[in-house]
Amino acid sequence: MTEHTYNLLVLVFPVLVPLALAAVTAVLWRSPGLQRPVAILGLGAILGCSVLLVMAVLRYDILAVEFGSWPVPFGISFVADRLAAALVAITGVLALCVGIFSLRDMRKIHLRGGFYPLFFGMIAGVNGAFLTGDVFNLYVWFEVMLITSLGLLVIGRTKAQIDGAIKYALLNLIGTVLFLMAVGLLYGAAGTLAFADLARVLPTLEPTPGLVGAAILFLCAFGIKAGVFPLFFWLPASYHTAPFTISAIFAGLLTKVGVYAAFRVFTLLFTVEESGIREIVAVVAALTMVTGVFGAAVQWNIRRILSFHIISQIGYMLMGLAIATPLALAGAVFYIVHHIIVKANLFLLAGAIRQASGTDDLKKSGGLLKSHPWLAVLFLVPALSLAGLPPLSGFWAKFLVVDASFKGDMAWLAAVALFTGLLTLYSMTKIWMEAFWKAPATERVRVRRVPLAMTAPIVVLGAITLAIGFNAEPFVQFAEMASVTLTDPDVYVAAFFGTETDVGAVTLERSE
Amino acid sequence: MIFIYAATIAIVAGAGIYMILARNLVRIVMGVALLAASANLLIFLSGRLGSVAPPIIPDGADTLAASAANPLPQALVLTAIVIGFALTAFAVALAVRAYRSLGTLDSTAMHDAEALGSPFAAPKLTASKTTPQG
């Protein structure tokens, strides 16, 4: 096997393997007993593939491949830079953890509803969106993600799930239609759709109404996907209705794909400085942070609180995009990775709390500190990390973006971010006080145990949070390196066109 | 010609948006379908109108003739139509399911998901315990 073939395989495995597993688990539709071990083995394989991808990217900096031997830029391409590879790796870790959690959380009825095929289909969609090298295929992977996530959302067919799915489906459908329109306008203006080719062509073009329209439509479409103010209403309406396993993977991954797409498009194609949308993004980021955290403050259902927190955290990532200095983008990349782990962990913990106390309504639960002290400790790790307390991963993430906003002359944004952090701490304390500290409303006769399959993923994700928090330097360095392809599109373009082979090796300089 | 085409797109998109603003779920789904159709027309327009020569490379030549139609938007539109069709079918199925289990198609009357956690929600009516099952 030549090196070229190896690189090609490494690049497409994170999409091909989940697709193959979706097919295999679909064949095993009627035998849940077989589906479970196949799914866990398959998730292990996906994680292995993403590790291989990260290793290849660390070696070559950027991998690019054109399918069907079409010359650049006519074929369909996959590109992996550090950002994409890191996100694929995190997806692998998260999918495995959530898959282990699902062993006890998902019932037979969910497996008969096709949980594992849909789950693998969604992983394929997410990885495809991270790795794709052109705008139209980004749309296609978004749709793969959307249709499978819709299937997952209605898997138990309860009234609340149907209602939540309607809001999720219609708003996201409108989002993808806007995205498609933007793609059309962009093609009309530039005549190409590959990211690298667009990054080369677009700076030479005059800003026409079509291009401006495309930029605005991209902003709206990714805004809906990422759940930013004022387009987030589908998110807290639907995420708490699905089973815990599913809402955990949604919370971790789906909105972040929207953020990732916004980062790609608004650094590689339209830069926020030149297109004049910096102010819009900054104001949207601030309003997203504040409305999300206020929305969370009034809720009493654990997953509703956490859903609103997803929104407020998206604001921090957009902050990085608004400031758009290398430091800010590195901070935002770090934030995305940290948030995927922490938020999914919190949703898994909500599932464990539900398992332990029988309810996810904070008014009815309580007394878990006495009956499940370890769960209380495990909850504190991601909760305090989300609020941004040192030495956890959230502190470094917040520190980077806040530091960048001071240096980027956007101190007001930093003030909003710190205020939001304070309110986040408030609502995390609320969950802790209500679920763990206070006496239960009615004395429970027997202690409901939380099975090992549920605690193990929580422990793993908590350990990753701690590891990032105590040893942040290599992660920050990686984020800085990852932000190079965002701040300097030339590297991305060169990897695509520069060499006669498909795989380009580009040297990176440490950005300061 | 191009202005007539552009005006058509605007009318289709406008009709779609008008229907999305309705309360009835079926009308909203139809509106989204119309909006998707206008997006497809827009992609087609972005490949330039005018040429009707099929995009076939003649014998002995390496590239398309200058007069040939642009095949790429056609491929894109074809993909988008298929995807849009699948999603519309899903949305219609969801609407049917919603009518069966929630008993209404009025989107303002659907609050089963958010009635769980809102502190401002009105107290639940206990009348409808039994739901029409499909």
A114-123, A474-483, B47-56, B67-76: least confident range: B47-56
Which of A242, A207, A225, A404 has its CA nearest to residue A316? A404
Residue B24, classed as helix, strand or coil, is strand
Instruction: With H, G, I as helix, E, B as strand and everything else as coil, classify residue A12.
Output: helix
Give the amino acid at A350. Answer: A
Alpha-carbon distance A165 to A163, whole Å?
Answer: 5
Residues of B in contact with A162 (CB under 8 A): 94, 97-98, 101-102, 112
The percent of residues above 70 in pLDDT, for chain A, comes to 96
**B102/A159 CB distance under 8 A:** yes
For A402-431, the pLDDT digits (tens) are 999 998 888 899 999 999 999 999 989 988
Residue B98: closest CA among chain A residues belongs to which residue? Answer: A162
Is the pLDDT at A511 greater than 50? The verdict is no
Give A409-431 as a DSSP string.
T-HHHHHHHHHHHHHHHHHHHHH
pLDDT digits (tens, 9 = 90+) for A144-182: 999 999 999 988 888 888 888 999 999 999 999 999 999
Provide Rg for chain B, Cα atoms: 22
What is the gyration radius of the CA atoms in chain A, in angstroms?
Answer: 22
Instruction: Retrieve residue A201's tokens.
Output: 């062509």
Can you give the pLDDT at residue A416? 93
Out of A140, A164, A361, closest to residue B83 by CB: A140
Query: B38: number of CA atoms within 13 Å, CB side?
Result: 22
Is A509's pLDDT higher than 70?
Answer: no
User: Which residues on chain B are in Cβ contact (under 8 Å) with A170?
Assistant: 20, 28-29, 32, 91
pLDDT for res A446:
66
For residues A370 and A123, which has the higher predicted lDDT (pLDDT)? A123
Per-residue DSSP letter, A268: I
Instruction: Please answer whether residues A241 and A347 qualify as being in contact, where contact means their C-beta atoms are separated by less than 8 angstroms.
Output: no
Mean pLDDT, range A29-54, rounded to an integer = 91
pTM: 0.91
% of chain A at pLDDT higher than 90: 49
pLDDT value of residue A335: 93
Residue A172 CA to residue A146 CA, distance in Å, equals: 8
Work out the angle at residue A310's Cα, subtended by the Cα atoms of residues A306 and A315, and round it to the nearest 5 degrees.
145
The answer to whether A491 and A60 are in contact (CB under 8 A) is no
pLDDT given for residue A501 in this prediction: 40
Cα-Cα-Cα-Cα torsion B109, B114, B119, B123, nearest 10 degrees, comes to 40
Tokens of A285: 């980021």
Q: Which ipTM score applies to this complex? A: 0.85
d(CA A87, CA A495): 19
Query: Which of A203-207, A390-394, A417-421, A444-448 is predicted with the least confidence, judged by mean pLDDT?
Result: A444-448
Picking from A169, A188, A240, the nearest residue to B116 by CB comes out as A240
Among A274-288, A435-449, A454-468, where is mean pLDDT lowest?
A435-449
Note the pLDDT of residue B71. 83
Measured between CB atoms, does B107 come within 8 Å of chain A? yes
Residue pair A121/A130 in contact (Cβ under 8 Å)? The answer is no
DSSP structure class, residue A441: S
Q: Which of residues 146-175 of A touch B (CB under 8 A)?
A: 146-147, 150, 154, 157, 159-167, 169-170, 173-174
Whole-number pLDDT of residue B121: 52
Q: Is the CB of B92 inside 8 Å of chain A's CB atoms? A: no
Lowest mean pLDDT among A94-108, A186-200, B101-115: B101-115
- Give me the residue from A159, A170, A176 closest to B28, CB to CB: A170
Q: Is B43 on the interface with A (CB under 8 A)?
A: yes
CB-based contacts of A345: which residues, under 8 Å, 6+ apart? A248, A381, A382, A457, A458, A461, A462, A465
Q: Give the number of C-alpha atoms closer than 13 A to the C-alpha of residue A311, restricted to the C-beta side.
A: 31
In this prediction, the residues of chain B whose per-residue pLDDT falls under 70 are 116-134
Note the pLDDT of residue A510.
34
Measured at the alpha carbon of residue A50, what is the angle toward residues A499 and A4, in degrees to the nearest 5?
A: 30
Q: Tens digits of per-residue pLDDT, A253-299? A: 999 999 999 999 998 888 877 777 888 899 999 999 999 999 998 88
Indicate which of B42, B64, B70, B78 best probes the interface with A, i.e. most A CBs within 10 Å of its own CB.
Answer: B42
The HSE-up count of residue A301 (CA atoms within 13 Å, CB side) is 18
Structure tokens at A342: 């922490």
Q: What is the pLDDT of residue A424?
A: 92
